[in-house]
Every structure is written in structure tokens, then in C-alpha cells.
Amino acid sequence: MTKTKSILILVVVFVVSTLLSYWFFLGSTLNLQKQVVKPHIPNSNGALSFDDTKPKTESCPLNGALYSKDQRQWWETHRPLGIMVENHENSRPQSGIIGADVVYEVISEGGITRFLTIFYCRDAGQVGPIRSARTYFLDIISEYGDSPLYVHVGGANTDGPANALGQIEQYGWVGYNDINQFSVGFPTFWRDYDRLGHETATEHTMYSTTKKLWDLAKLRGLTNVDKKGNPWDGKFVPYSFKDDASPTQRGNPQTIHLEFWKNYSNYFVDWIYDKEANIYKRNNGGKQHIDRDNNKQITVKNIVVLFMQENSANDGYENNLHLLYKTKGIGRATIFMDGQKITGTWRKETRTSRMQIFDSAGLPVKFDRGVLWFDILPIDGVATVQ
């Protein structure tokens, strides 16, 4: 064999081996790409969405809803996030409520209700309008583990029992798990004067996103663990959950009518039960309560009506508008799920202890897997089933 032929053979072998190596590594790379989990796919509202075709085997600790392993890997990187969202008639339609795992609704002042929306297992994207803190909401968010994230725009600060901002400082939350727009500002928070689609006062225009808020918490050393490495849920007490009742065991279509204060019809609530879907559809002020993010009606799986003693704070605030609710102790509760009504009680021992819900036999209620909505009414509030 001549020297020229030998060189030619070597060149051919080199080229062939190079091409084979290229295709081998390309194939390996493509296979790896197929295996990479890519849950962080923002939708039109900026919220993360996940592959809905994957098996739903993982239970959300807050409401028992089932999601994929990918989604669980994501939620285990942060801690519960409580955001104050207002319900003034001029603040509707709100953004992000439909993405909450749990919602608490209580009067903030003057017969106007307000929401504490809690996010953990889902990303809601944009949320708002965000409003101020109230002391009884602090009692509620304190149930959600050590250093729960609490988001608000200022708050009641008159000396006395309703001094929410003073209590936040007392609890050691300031600059840590407390996220107050007054001390954070843009770009975590911003005002959007056009989002509602109608003219409204400035106080109804403050927004943020769940991602921005979780990112801010991370900068403060708060992820699924705190600065000392302690997990948020070390002392958290989850509720018990069950699968939906079968269609034959469900109640008939019905409407649950709630009145927080008499004659304040703009804040009356009607929950309309859909037996086939086994969900409750929310009407507020006689209209479908729509979420601005996706223009869908708010729906939930479980409704818990808590009756609590309501009092004026008598703290010298104008028109004596600041309220107090007796969130600790024992009281009446009415639970609605599967089209059925359960008469029971609630119990909460301390600010940080979990609100327990019992049936008429004194046993803990097992909720359907899905969104939990708590409506807190004064003792003389109205709750009827039609």
C-alpha cells in the first residue's frame, strides 16, 4: 500500500468516526433534553404552568389537591405566601384569587370584606389589588408554619388592640417574612390604573406577582427553610382530605347565601353548587365573581363558614372603623362540600396554632381535595341554603 493510500484511509476513518461521535452525542443530548424537567413555562399572565398530562400523585399540603411530581419539586423550593386582596366593589374584578390554594374572607371595615389569599402549590401570576393589614388576618397567616410570608400595603397602626403594624413588629416579622409595600416598592409592587377596565381610586391599583414576592423572600433568606435551615412546615398541622363523593352521594343543586352585615348587599355572597362538577361557583354582590386574569368565575371545592364575635376596636380611629374578631377560642362552623351541609365547630387555641374544624360528632372534618374557602361572619351574620 502506497503512502498516499494510507493517508487517504486514515482521513476517511477520521471523518467517519467524527460523524459517528457527533450523531452519538447529539442523540444523547436530545435524550437528556427530553428528560429535563421544564415546569417554569409562563402563561399569558406570567404564572408558571406545568405539564397537565403527567400523573397527579402529589398532595398539596394546604388543600389536598393532587399535582405532578414536577409541580411538587417546584413548590418545595418556597414557603406559603399570604397576600391581602381587597373586595371593595370598585376593586373588582381582582387578579389572582382564582390561583390561591386557600382563601379567608372577613370584613375589613364598614361592611366591606377583604381576602387573605394563600399561595403555595400554584403560581397565580399577577395578584391584586393589594391592600392593608388587619390584626385578625395576622392570627390566620400565623397558622402557616414558621415565618409565613405576609404581603400588604401598610395597615392599621392606631395604638390599641387593632394595631396590626405594631403587632407585626412585635412578632419580629419586619424586614423578614413581612412584605410591606411601604418599605419595598417598585419593581416588586407597582400601580396599574388601567387593569380593572374602569376608572377607580388610587388605593385600588396596587399589584405584584407571586414570583416577584417569592424572589424577594429568597433574597431575605426565606425559601422552604429559614436562615437557620429550619423548614417552614416543622410545626405545620395539615388538614385531612378525601376524594370527592360519588355522584349518587352528592346533594342536589343549591345556593348558599351569606350576609356579613345586613343591608350591605354589594358584599352579599352566593355560592351556587354544581352537582355534576362537584364545585361551588361564587357570586358577589349579585354578580358572577370573575377573576381578571382569565375571565373565569371563581370556584371552590369546600366552603367553611366560621361565626366569630365581632367588636369595634374603640382605638380612636376615625368613625371607629377598626374591627376585632375573636379568632381564638371555640365557635360555630358550617361546612359545605359535595352538596352537603355539615354543622360543626371551630377551635383555635393560640395565634400560631392551627384552626381546627370539627363535625357535629366532634371529629375532625375531612375536606374534598381542592380549594378551601373560609367565610368568617359575625355571630349574627346570615348563612342560609336555598
Alpha helices in the chain (DSSP H): 3-35, 69-75, 135-141, 164-170, 181-184, 210-219
- Rounded CA-CA distance 106/318 in Å is 20
For the chain, what percentages of helix, strand and coil (3-state, to nearest 5) are there? Answer: 20, 35, 45
- Are the C-beta atoms of residues 326 and 357 closer than 8 Å to each other? no
Q: Report the topology of domain 244-385.
A: YerB-like fold (3.50.90)
Longest dimension (CA), the chain: 107
- Are the C-beta atoms of residues 324 and 312 closer than 8 Å to each other? yes
Ranges of CATH 3.50.90.10 domains, the chain: 64-219, 244-385
Say whether domain 64-219 belongs to CATH 3.50.90.10: yes
Give the angle 169-149-369 at the CA atoms, nearest 5°.
Answer: 140
First-to-last alpha carbon distance for the chain, in angstroms, is: 99
Each residue's pLDDT tens digit in the chain (386 positions)? 454 444 444 444 444 454 444 444 334 333 433 333 444 555 556 788 899 899 999 999 999 999 999 999 999 999 999 999 999 999 999 999 999 999 999 999 999 999 999 999 999 999 999 999 999 999 999 999 999 999 999 999 999 999 999 999 999 999 999 999 999 989 999 999 998 888 899 999 999 999 999 999 999 999 999 999 999 999 999 999 999 999 999 999 999 999 999 999 999 999 999 999 999 999 999 999 999 988 999 999 999 999 999 999 999 998 899 999 999 999 999 999 999 999 999 999 999 999 999 999 999 999 999 999 999 999 999 999 99
To the question of pTM greater than 0.85 for the whole model, the response is: yes
- Rounded CA-CA distance 146/232 in Å is 5
Give the angle 186-191-192 at the CA atoms, nearest 5°.
Answer: 135
